[in-house]
Amino acid sequence: MATMLDYINEEEAILKQIMMKYQPVAEPDLEQLTTLLILATGSSYNACLAAKATMEKIANISITIEEPYNFNHYGTIPNSVDAVLAVSQSGKSASTIDAMAHIKEKGKLTIALTGNSESPLSDMVDYLVDIDMGIETVGFVTKGYSATVLQLILLSLTIGHSKGIVAEKIDFYQRELDKVIDKIPEIIEQSNHFFERYEELFKVSSRYIAIGYGPNWGTAKEFETKFTETVRQPSQGFELEAYMHGPYLEANNEHILFFIETPSVNLARSKKLRDYMKPYVGKVLTITTEKSVDEGTLGLDINCDEFVSQLALVIPFQLLAYKIATTKGIDLNQRIFDDFDRILQSKI
């Protein structure tokens, strides 16, 4: 039976294959695109949040991401929206399918990004992008998450190309993406060592928090989803400034705080919060694309653009989720809440 770890180890090959196949083609449908509404839930929502700032920057577009169920019941589509993109790795999330069926009637350009070309989503839309990540049988998705982030960034390169955005920008991002993908095996190894260093602490910890900014707000939210699904103890991901508006008041010595950092105008603010919080929590750990400066830092040492750093920085959290769950004695192959989908029908 394939495990989460098997899929984490496949990420480099899958992402490389996606990069190799990618050709920026000008799509007439995407030429006028300036405002995009995205519908996605769970890890797919987090992947969209992680890709949002990068897509906006590359393609000169503005993006809003909505939870499909809420949007379907309470949302409205502003006239300014040019296209609606549904993202679902399995293609089976009922809320995403239902919302898209309604949107179809509104006459907007519809796009789907899914790993399931047999899904009803695929037939429904004007423009289909295959996540092209092969099979992932483990519900706690890892390679599918990373492939979704990459495909979203590549979609923005296609949009940018269709809008006539200069080729240098496309070349630059393709090179940056290749650089990060090449580093994946090393990141997995570094993350393993980091886990071993803190295994005894992780084994007994009961509250986990991750704080990120920009594209890594999405990484923090994916940490939250992954830890909740696997470690099954209170875990929350916050945007840097949002943590300072209430959540810090909960801090105590049972908390492990992960700071997700990469060079940015926001780095100094993250460091300031990190230094402030240190005496009030059990442990402050940093996961950064920079070099390690102390034992509490997992420094990936990748000199990459902030807008592709989310592809690197999520991998330690995927690995830690698997390893911490395992060291706590959780058997991730053992299905739980087996009747959930039958009763709640959140997946078709």
Ligand X SMILES: O=P(O)(O)OC[C@H]1O[C@](O)(CO)[C@@H](O)[C@@H]1O
Least distance in angstroms from the C-beta of 49 to ligand X: 12
Binding site for ligand X (CB under 6 A): 41-44, 88-90, 92-93, 96, 139, 141
* Widest Cα–Cα separation across the chain: 56
Nearest Cα residue to 9 out of 142, 198, 135, 116: 142
Least distance in angstroms from the C-beta of 14 to ligand X: 16
Alpha carbon distance 94, 304 (integer Å):
37
> Which residue's beta carbon is nearest to the bound ligand X?
42
Alpha carbon distance 124, 67 (integer Å):
19
User: How far from each other are the two terminal CA atoms of the chain, in whole angstroms?
Assistant: 24
How is 39-85 classified by DSSP, letter by letter?
EE-HHHHHHHHHHHHHHHHHHT-EEEEE-HHHHHHH----TT--EEE
- CB nearer to ligand X: pick between 89 and 219: 89
- CB nearer to ligand X: pick between 141 and 324: 141
Least distance in angstroms from the C-beta of 312 to ligand X: 20
Least distance in angstroms from the C-beta of 255 to ligand X: 25
Least distance in angstroms from the C-beta of 165 to ligand X: 28
Least distance in angstroms from the C-beta of 105 to ligand X: 21
Residues with Cβ within 8 Å of residue 332, at least 6 apart in sequence: 3, 4, 138, 140, 230, 322, 325, 326
Bridge partners (DSSP) listed for residue 114: 88, 130
- DSSP code at position 269: H
Whether the Cβ atoms of residue 96 and residue 68 lie closer than 8 Å to each other: yes
- CB nearer to ligand X: pick between 43 and 110: 43
- CB nearer to ligand X: pick between 54 and 89: 89
Least distance in angstroms from the C-beta of 317 to ligand X: 14
- CB nearer to ligand X: pick between 294 and 339: 339
- CB nearer to ligand X: pick between 96 and 262: 96
For 120-152, what is the HEC assignment?
Answer: HHHHHCCEEEECCCCCCCCCCCCHHHHHHHHHH
C-beta neighbour count of 344 within 10 angstroms: 10
- CB nearer to ligand X: pick between 114 and 216: 114
